[in-house]
Every structure is written in structure tokens, then in C-alpha cells.
A and B are shown apart, each in its own frame.
Chain A
Amino acid sequence: MKQLEKETDPKILQALLASRNDYTVEDALENEMIINMGPQHPATHGVLRLLLRLDGERIIGCVPELGYLHRGYEKMAENMSYYEYIPHTDRLDYISPMANNVAWVLAVEKLAGIEAPKRAQYIRMMIAELARIASHLVAIGSFAMDVGALTVFLWTLREREKILDIWDILCGARFTNSYTRIGGVANDAQPEALAKAKWFIDQFEPYLAEVEQLLNTNRIFIERVDGVGAISKEDAIDLGFCGPNLRACGVEFDLRRNAPYLCYNEIDFNIPTYTEGDCLARYFLRIDECRESAKIVKQILDKIPQGPVHADMPKKVLPQKDEVYTKMEELIHDFMIVNFGINPPVGEIYHAIEGSKGELGFYLVSKGEGHPWKCKIRSPSFNNIQCLPKLVIGHLISDVVAIIGSIDPIMGEADK
């Protein structure tokens, strides 16, 4: 009650208490208003809840509330084997599950000292880049839809559908792929899948240009996002912005270049950066990254070597199903790995990849058992949402929607 007395205009307070009705609109407008946005709001990309303090239409305070999608994945990781956890990584960033699969197996391989064969690494690189394109297409589409350009969303999702078709051929699933395995990938990439990927990349560029044309010449779109939600380079680093959002502020930080994993040092690609750090720069950057990723996939398809896709380490890497049914040795290994796990040596590692949203890392502590002693997911969306109050303060309430769309948070990984 005391809080209410302090914050509310005495005339309105009196009116509320004594149900008087002689107050005017002007009296109400003098006050600040608290608005609850979400968790069930279509423009918050899932279950993000924002508490906004408004002065008229201008935002003077913002408190994000997380946890509506908290499923306790870190706790679950401590209670299951390293293999069992692969399907759960699909549910972190559900827009690019393939990239999460790659991140998890790379972390486990580093912990257990396994190296996947070259062909498997190239396949992983290909799926990670295709996942980045798919994720950016959704990000661009939904961002445009949030500010009112619905057509773009339909067009980019049509392109994404083609990537899902590639995954369908590759592993039989479209959304929750679970395609990678520790020490390799589930099955070798079929010639049809590679041909489809090649076809996709060849026809992708004109469609992307079409999307770009539609948005870049749209004055309503440009004026809604230009200069909105800008953040300086220093603030972005200090607040833990990551991925495309950080690069849009002028920081050339990309783990593919700064801490190369897989075979990225054999591939020629650029890291696009912008200096403005506003919503428009973040949109431009995603378009550029799609182009770069397409370039990378093209090179991968040219360079991909022949060979096995499983590391030859029978005590650590699951044998193929057909061998399990016909050979005694493989049956024993399958039994041991499934029931007792791969028991990496005692130690701790951190491995991060440049996911489509930013630095996606896993910190694993092993006590030499079949399951991790601790698993920490360093999720990019979590850190990106942390910057949201800084971005929205001072802008209009309608800009909040544009800003959320431009930083592209996925609540599945922010809430874990």
C-alpha cells in the first residue's frame, strides 16, 4: 500500500480507493504505467515475458523474466550417458538442431579424446552451415513479419523448407534430427542428399536477392528499424552480446575464425561486420551471413573427401547396427557403451562453436563415469536477452517488437 501511495498520483489513488469517477484522462496520463508483455505474445518468439515501465508510449524500464520453458537440461545431462543426451540437444535451439548436435559431440569428443574422420567433419560442417542458413532465414522472416512485412516470412520459410528436405534425406527427420554421433555421424551422407544440397545452394542466391529487394526498397520497413535499438561496441562486449548481434556492432568475433574447429581453416570465407549496431545492421548482417554460409557449403561440396564416417575406436564409438546383429565383438561393445557409457578420463573441458545465434558452448566435467558430473550449456540467446533492457529503453513500445525480432532469441536455449 505504501509503495502504491508513493508511486501513484494522490487524486487517482483516492479515486481507486473511494471509487470516485471524477478523474480525467489527463490525470491518468500523468502517471507511469507498467505493462506485462508476454509470455503468450506472438512477437516475443516463444515464452519470453517482459515487464515494461512506460511513460506515455516511451519505455523507461524493462525487466525480462525467463524460465517459462525451463526443463532442467543441465540436471538431466548429469543423469544420462553422453550418447543419450544427443536427442536432447535438438530441443535447445529448436530452429537449428543440427548445429546443437555438432556442438555437443565436439565437446564430448574433446573430453574423451576422439577424433572423427575427415569426411564426417566435412559433413558436420555442411550441416552446421545449412542450419545457420535455415536459422537466419527464420530470423529474417519473423523479424520482417513482426514489423508488418508478412510476405517475406512466407518466402524465407519456403527456402527453409528445402533445407529441411535435405535433412529428411540425410537422417529421416526434419526438425529434431539427432544426426551426429560421438566419433562421426549416424550414417554417411547419401549422394542424393549432397546433390540436393548442391541444387539448393545454386538456386538459393536469386531467391535471397529477391527477399533483400523486397525489404531494402520497402520504406516502411527501413524507417521502422533504422537507428532503432542501437548499442555501442563497448557496451555490447561488456553486456555479453554474441554472434551476429555482436558482429553488427563492429566486433569481428567469430569462433570459426578465432578458435577454428572442424575444418574451417581449410575453407575460405569472410566475416561480415557492420558498425551501426542497430536493428537494420543486424538484419543486413544476417543476409550477408547467409551468403557466406552458402559459399562455405559450396566449397565443402567440392572438397568433401571419401572415406569412413566413424572413428575407429570400438570402445568409445557405437558400432553400426548391421554389424551389431551379425558380429559378436560389436554386440559386446554396443552393450557396454549403451549400458555403461563411454567413460571419458577425469577432467574438464569447454568447447564452443559459432552457432547460428552466437557462441554455443558446453562445459563438461567428467569424473571418469559414464555420465557427466557437470554439464553447463553456455547458450547464446540467454546472453543476448540480457542486453534487451539496454536496447529498448528510450524507444517506443512498438519498437520493442522490432528489437526482439532483430536479436533473434530462441527461448528453448535461453531457458534450457
Chain B
Amino acid sequence: MDLKALIPQKLKEKFPSVEFELSDYKDELTVKFDKKYIVEVCAFLKSDPELEFKLCSDVTAIDWATRKNRFTVVYNIFSLKNNFRLRLKVPLSGIDESDCSIDSVTKVWQASNWQERETFDMYGIKFKNHPDLRRMYMPEEFEYHPLRKEFPLMGIPGSLPLLKK
């Protein structure tokens, strides 16, 4: 059976109460759903014997700037068994800092550890239950999140103080 039909069908059977929004653009399947279910859905996709999405290629986020749900977290996973790439998109509700969080999937794929750290560093999205949520590239004392749209391209003068002799 074609995976593009099989995956939505399996997801609907397993999670009847969750709303899955599907899109297929340029032969890439994207599944969009609520952030509450992220860990359960990921664990299911990894452990299901017919799907086996064992490889987590990438975790990132998109900043939509002026939209209502400002951030969307994007997971890019691959099934070695079926040779199939799937994208999971999870919008984060709310625009203020306190709502900017999602459960971590490090328990499902260890590879997502650094990828989530990078997303935290760049967008300020907090991954709950992450074992080691530190900044990936920027120094610990840096206050901003560079890939947010309000951060200027030239940087903020004085945001990285140089050591005084």
C-alpha cells in the first residue's frame, strides 16, 4: 500500500481524537497537528513495525513574524525501511514568551538532542524535559535569539561584551 495513504490512515486509527492536517507539495508529505500529542505521535511513528521512522534528520522552527501562531516547529524524519521522508509540523499557539514551549522528543530519537538545542538557541523555543537545554552556538550570556525575525541582520551592538583586561 502506498505510504502516502497508509500513514494518515494509521495515524487516524491510532489517534482518533487528534486532528491531522495533511499536505502533499512537490511529492513531500507533511502532517500538521497539535503540539500536545507530539511525543505520542513520534513514538508511534518510530515503533510501528510497518513505518519505522528511525532516523530523525532534522528539527527546526519557522518564525512567521506577524501570524497569530507565531512559531511552527518542524520535524524531518526518515524511514530507512520504506525509503520515505515525512515532515511533521507543529504550530505553537500564542505569541508571548511563556507559551513558547513544546515537549522534547529526545526520548524518542537521541539525535534530536542537539537539533532541539539549536532550535532553542536560534528561536528561543523551550523544549520541556530536554536533558541538556543549553545554547548550541551563541554564548550562554547572550540574551537574544538570532533567527527570530525581529533580530536585525547586523546584530545588536554591545550584545556580546568583549572581555576587559
Residues of B within 8 A of A350 (CB): 28, 58, 76, 85, 87
**Complex: A67 Cα to B114 Cα, angstroms:** 13
B45 smallest CB distance to A (angstroms): 14
Task: Indicate whether B17 reaches chain A with its CB closer than 8 angstroms.
Answer: no
Evaluate whether A363 and B60 lie within 8 angstroms (CB atoms) in the complex, with A72-B146, A110-B26, A239-B111 already known. Answer: yes
Cβ contact within 8 Å between A253 and B76: no
Task: Indicate whether A266 reaches chain B with its CB closer than 8 angstroms.
Answer: no
Residues of A within 8 A of B9 (CB): none
Cβ contact within 8 Å between A240 and B153: no
Task: Indicate whether A378 reaches chain B with its CB closer than 8 angstroms.
Answer: yes
Going nearest first, the 10 A-B pairs with the smallest beta carbon separation are: A240-B111, A67-B137, A70-B137, A376-B60, A378-B58, A386-B114, A238-B110, A79-B153, A374-B62, A239-B110
Task: Indicate whether A129 reaches chain B with its CB closer than 8 angstroms.
Answer: no
At the interface with chain A, which of B33-41, B49-57, B96-104?
A: B49-57
0 or 1 for each of B78-96: is its CB under 8 Å from A? (1 = yes):
0010010101000000000
Majority SS at the chain B contact face: mixed
Task: Indicate whether A186 reaches chain B with its CB closer than 8 angstroms.
Answer: no
Residues of B within 8 A of A347 (CB): 25-26
**Complex: A376 Cα to B115 Cα, angstroms:** 11
Task: Indicate whether A382 reaches chain B with its CB closer than 8 angstroms.
Answer: yes
Extra inter-chain contacts (11) besides given A363-B74, A386-B113, CB under 8 Å = A67-B135, A111-B26, A237-B54, A238-B54, A240-B55, A348-B30, A350-B58, A350-B76, A361-B57, A365-B62, A382-B114
Residues of A within 8 A of B114 (CB): 382-383, 386
B30 smallest CB distance to A (angstroms): 8
Cβ contact within 8 Å between A258 and B87: no
Cβ contact within 8 Å between B109 and A259: no
Evaluate whether A240 and B109 lie within 8 angstroms (CB atoms) in the complex, with A347-B26, A378-B58 already known. Answer: yes
Residues of B within 8 A of A70 (CB): 137-138
Name the CB-closest residue of A to B89: A348
Cβ contact within 8 Å between B28 and A67: no
Task: Indicate whether A289 reaches chain B with its CB closer than 8 angstroms.
Answer: no
| Inter-chain contact total with CB atoms closer than 8 Å | 84
Name the CB-closest residue of B to A385: B114
Name the CB-closest residue of A to B113: A386
Chain A residues in contact with chain B, CB under 8 A?
A: 66-67, 70, 72, 74-76, 78-79, 110-111, 237-240, 251, 253, 258-259, 347-350, 352, 359, 361, 363, 365, 373-374, 376, 378, 382-383, 386, 415-416
Residues of A within 8 A of B125 (CB): none
0 or 1 for each of B16-44: is its CB under 8 Å from A? (1 = yes):
00000000011010100000000000000
Q: List 25 A-B contacts (CB under 8 A).
A: A67-B137, A67-B139, A75-B153, A111-B26, A237-B55, A238-B110, A238-B111, A239-B110, A240-B55, A240-B57, A253-B80, A258-B83, A259-B83, A259-B85, A347-B26, A350-B28, A361-B57, A363-B74, A365-B62, A374-B62, A376-B58, A376-B74, A378-B57, A383-B114, A383-B115
Name the CB-closest residue of B to A359: B57
**Complex: A350 Cα to B83 Cα, angstroms:** 15
Name the CB-closest residue of B to A252: B80
User: Of residues 115 to 133 in B, which have CB atoms within 8 Å of A's CB atoms?
Assistant: 115, 118, 122
Residues of B within 8 A of A76 (CB): 153
Evaluate whether A74 and B109 lie within 8 angstroms (CB atoms) in the complex, with A67-B138, A237-B80, A365-B62 already known. Answer: no
Residues of B within 8 A of A240 (CB): 55-57, 109-111, 115
